[in-house]
Structure 1
Amino acid sequence: MHIIPHQILNWLSALASIVLLSTLIISPAIHANTLPKSVDTSTLVLPEVPEVDLLALDDKIKELLDTHIRPIERKSARVEQLHQLLFDSQYLNIGYEFSATKTAQQTFDDRNGNCLSHASLFVAAARYVGLKARFQLVEVDRQWEKEDNYYIVPGHVNAFVNLPGGATATVEFVDSYVSKELSPKTMPDELAQAEYYSNVAMEHLSSGDKLKALAYLKKAVKTYKKQHAIWSNLGVVYKFLGDYDRAEIAYMKAYKLNKRDPSLITNIYILYTQQGKTELAAKYEKRVSRYLKRNPYKLNQMASINIASNDLKTAERLYKKAIHIKPEEHSFHFDLARLYFKQKKYNLAEKYFQSANKAATERGQPSLYKKKLDHFYKSRDRYQVNL
């Protein structure tokens, strides 16, 4: 986490995390006239979603804050010491977990959470000790995380503190964002609460429970109606459940709130294309085409299509572009290595087999390519190998 001073503050501090926030999910397959008749989900019995107070703190936390933070007279120092108390490795050492969306209290108890969780705990604690803290929604470079049949595009949130004399401080929870020029926007508490429900919905969707995902997203849009990303996610879940009419309604509500978001526009285009509504789909086609060319998984898929048509130069270029966008995705390196092997470019093949193995190891899968590497070394003098 970093505390980034504005105007007259002169100190800096650090820790790290990231968040599954405002996640926009994008169905990858696009085939015209493939959807059956829309079903009616209004009769579904959905699980109850409990009311959650995102910023509630118990007496144990308050006592800790009263002892260690409240007595500090200078408010800028109070912000810095609060950060150290919560996140520094010598103190509570609250860590980061990408998919763990938690309340302020749960984040403190479990000693981990994602960026929304960290921001919730910091904002709640800061307000308790007399600081004017609020959430900030931050525009960041788009990244794609691939699930079984959709992509997740994470967003980001941090915290902001007003200090005496017109000074301000941004409290950042991701090291990689500290040196970047960000474009934050104030985030009302109601939106943070809605994002909590939306993130929990995404966790349920990832585990295959679409009804819980639907229940939490309906709770999210009821909590805050003006966030387009949540409406878009609601539309995708309706689509997964076969309720294409309600999916369209949710998408259009999102579109009224934000006509420029490429992930939302992609979702709309996919729905209309799969329904055979070609005239409606055509309105979004050019923008979707531009967007998908920046999606590394789509680029990788396009490279495979080019290999099938024997356009190997284009495939090589697309694989390299996918790796440039997302170098940590080991499968991109592996696919390029296989292409080079088939072309008998063994030095290049070895280079990308090694980089695939390195990327997999860094993501906690050290044995994923061991057998394939052994097979490569034994077989590189042959004309073919089945990888």
Structure 2
Amino acid sequence: MTQALSTPERIPQRIKAAVPNSAERGGLRTVAGIVLLILIGFFVGVLSGCSRNHQAYFPDLAQRDISREDLLSGRSLWGEAAEELVLPEDHVMRMSPQMRAFLDRYVPGNYADPMKIRAILEAIISPGALGMEYDRSLTFTARESFRRAEGNCLGFSYVFVLLARERGLKAYFQEVEIPPDWTPAAERLVFVNRHINVRVDTRIGHDMVVDIDRANVKPFYPVRRISDKEAEAHYYSNKGAEYLDRGNMKNAFRYFVKAVRLMPKSSAFWSNLGVFYRLNNLPWHAEKAYFIALKYKPSNYSVMTNLAILYEIQGEVEKAEYFTGLAKRYQQKNPYYHYYRAQEAYNDGDYQATLRHLRGVIRQKIEDYRFYDLMAEAYIKLGKQDEAEEVLAKGADYR
């Protein structure tokens, strides 16, 4: 997945509202292992009219003479020297002899499927075996994650899938949509959560999910199966974000383009490329990349926010207001934005406002017990014990 950068000092006041934050203060940290680079906002949900033709609304948008290959070539930044920028090939999911020897030692091939799954997991995480340590900030290939015995959710998932398949298991990758956490912008780069885990089909009638970060992943979070190619593309996008954070623009470009080449219809990876061009002072290249991203996902509202910022900086006030308005409307549709506002009100001691922010989303039957817990706490502060118990009873169904 992948996408998020921000230069807060240049974010227009009109749209400097709430930023979904998954970066730890003081540096590049990915909460769940996949970086989703955006400039300021990430909005989920669907609103009627989201697929409107923005280029028809602003006819001049289609007049820029910038092609996809222009964006992917790098010529606008490095001229003929861009021909020397060979795309990386890091062999993200290649087994090593050491991995096969490890598997032979710890996971007998005659185990039943559930026992194989448990044995592989125990061998990876147990201190007496591999003892892999989870570090959200480290994006490695499968071999490097195994050799170093550390990595984020991507590295763990690469290792587990390869070992599982070597033992004849049907293992594949899943993307978990972790809700954004809105906090004020305070960093040069802002990163949005995505998380990868593994699902294994067994021959006994049910699947098993394997996850190195169960503490941050809830059963009610939406998941979708992704291909090996997409799982690899997330590695390249993450590495591109790391290089961008360090100011290594050539490597950032190489890795971002590699992700796009692997998944040319991914809105997220085109959006990353737009962020790259925006930070390299090529605004119309960024604009082109953002509109390609919107073509593949018209509901990618982080791209709309990026466009609003881009146009504000370029002095294109009408366009900035147009995309800012769209982004704000989608934000209001996001239950987690209202949860953030309810938390703010609760911390300020305004318990009535806490309830106002939560009542609407509670009616949507959000399957997240935290909404109900916070509402119950507000009722308790107001001395309404019966209402608190009623809300807690409703939320118990989602624990």
Q: TM bucket by the smaller chain?
A: 0.5 to 0.7
What's the C-alpha RMSD, in Å, of the aligned pairs?
3.3
Counterpart CA distance in 2 for 1:93 and 1:137 is 24
Counterpart CA distance in 1 for 2:126 and 2:274 is 40
| CA deviation after TM superposition for structure 1 residue 290, in Å | 5.4
Q: Does the 8 Å CA contact 2:88/2:258 hold for their aligned counterparts?
A: no
Counterpart CA distance in 2 for 1:230 and 1:169 is 29
CA distance 1:251–1:239, change in 2 (3 Å): same
Q: Specify every segment of 5 or more residues in structure 1 that has no aligned partner in the other structure, as ranges.
A: 1-16, 29-37, 304-312, 322-387
Residue among 69, 88, 91 paired with 2:107 = 69
Residue among 76, 93, 116 paired with 1:40 = 76
2:219 aligned with 1:180: yes
Q: Does the 8 Å CA contact 2:134/2:153 hold for their aligned counterparts?
A: yes
Q: Does the 8 Å CA contact 2:32/2:136 hold for their aligned counterparts?
A: yes
Name the residue aligned to 2:157. Answer: 119
Name the residue aligned to 1:191. Answer: 230
Counterpart CA distance in 2 for 1:234 and 1:144 is 24
Counterpart CA distance in 1 for 2:206 and 2:153 is 24
Secondary structure of 1:100's aligned partner: coil
Q: Does the 8 Å CA contact 1:18/1:115 hold for their aligned counterparts?
A: no
Counterpart CA distance in 2 for 1:207 and 1:241 is 14
Q: Does the 8 Å CA contact 1:147/1:206 hold for their aligned counterparts?
A: no
Name the residue aligned to 2:38. Answer: 25
2:338 aligned with 1:288: no
Residue among 122, 129, 135 paired with 1:97 = 135
| CA deviation after TM superposition for structure 1 residue 178, in Å | 4.6
Name the residue aligned to 1:227. Answer: 266
Q: Does the 8 Å CA contact 2:139/2:154 hold for their aligned counterparts?
A: yes
Q: Does the 8 Å CA contact 1:137/1:158 hold for their aligned counterparts?
A: yes
User: Which residue identity lines up with residue 197 of structure 2 in the other structure?
Assistant: N
* 1:248-293 residue CA offsets vs partner (Å, 9 max, x unmatched): 1111111112222332221122112222333333332224335778
Name the residue aligned to 1:83. Answer: 121
Counterpart CA distance in 2 for 1:148 and 1:182 is 27
CA distance 1:20–1:138, change in 2 (3 Å): same
Q: TM-score, normalised by structure 2?
A: 0.63
CA distance 1:144–1:153, change in 2 (3 Å): farther
Counterpart CA distance in 2 for 1:256 and 1:113 is 34
Name the residue aligned to 2:9. Answer: none
Counterpart CA distance in 2 for 1:200 and 1:210 is 12
CA distance 1:207–1:292, change in 2 (3 Å): farther
Q: Does the 8 Å CA contact 1:228/1:253 hold for their aligned counterparts?
A: yes
Q: Does the 8 Å CA contact 2:34/2:195 hold for their aligned counterparts?
A: yes
| CA deviation after TM superposition for structure 1 residue 119, in Å | 0.6
Q: Does the 8 Å CA contact 1:54/1:103 hold for their aligned counterparts?
A: yes
CA distance 1:177–1:149, change in 2 (3 Å): closer
User: Which residue identity lines up with residue 107 of structure 1 in the other structure?
Assistant: S
CA distance 1:40–1:316, change in 2 (3 Å): farther
Name the residue aligned to 1:151. Answer: 190
User: Which residue identity lines up with residue 152 of structure 2 in the other structure?
Assistant: N
Counterpart CA distance in 2 for 1:261 and 1:54 is 27
Deviates more, 1:39-48 or 1:264-273: 39-48
| CA deviation after TM superposition for structure 1 residue 237, in Å | 0.7
Counterpart CA distance in 2 for 1:18 and 1:87 is 19
Deviates more, 1:44-53 or 1:259-268: 44-53
User: Which residue identity lines up with residue 23 of structure 1 in the other structure?
Assistant: L
Residue among 295, 298, 303 paired with 1:256 = 295
Deviates more, 1:68-77 or 1:137-146: 137-146
| CA deviation after TM superposition for structure 1 residue 84, in Å | 0.4
2:184 aligned with 1:130: no
Counterpart CA distance in 2 for 1:155 and 1:18 is 8
Secondary structure of 2:175's aligned partner: strand
| CA deviation after TM superposition for structure 1 residue 214, in Å | 1.5
Q: Does the 8 Å CA contact 2:125/2:131 hold for their aligned counterparts?
A: yes
Deviates more, 1:238-247 or 1:273-282: 273-282
- Could you tell me the percent identity over the aligned residues? 28
Q: Specify every segment of 5 or more residues in structure 2 that has no aligned partner in the other structure, as ranges.
A: 1-29, 42-65, 67-74, 355-399
CA distance 1:290–1:96, change in 2 (3 Å): farther
Counterpart CA distance in 2 for 1:284 and 1:316 is 31
Name the residue aligned to 1:203. Answer: 242
Counterpart CA distance in 1 for 2:139 and 2:123 is 21
* 1:314-337 residue CA offsets vs partner (Å, 9 max, x unmatched): x9689x99xxxxxxxxxxxxxxxx
Secondary structure of 1:185's aligned partner: strand
Counterpart CA distance in 2 for 1:27 and 1:179 is 25
Counterpart CA distance in 2 for 1:124 and 1:134 is 10
Counterpart CA distance in 2 for 1:144 and 1:173 is 25
Counterpart CA distance in 2 for 1:117 and 1:159 is 11
Name the residue aligned to 2:202. Answer: 163
Residue among 89, 96, 109 paired with 1:51 = 89
Counterpart CA distance in 2 for 1:23 and 1:292 is 17
Name the residue aligned to 2:372. Answer: none
| CA deviation after TM superposition for structure 1 residue 154, in Å | 2.1
| CA deviation after TM superposition for structure 1 residue 129, in Å | 1.1
Q: TM-score, normalised by structure 1?
A: 0.65
Name the residue aligned to 2:359. Answer: none
* 1:217-244 residue CA offsets vs partner (Å, 9 max, x unmatched): 0111011112211111110010000111
User: Which residue identity lines up with residue 82 of structure 1 in the other structure?
Assistant: I
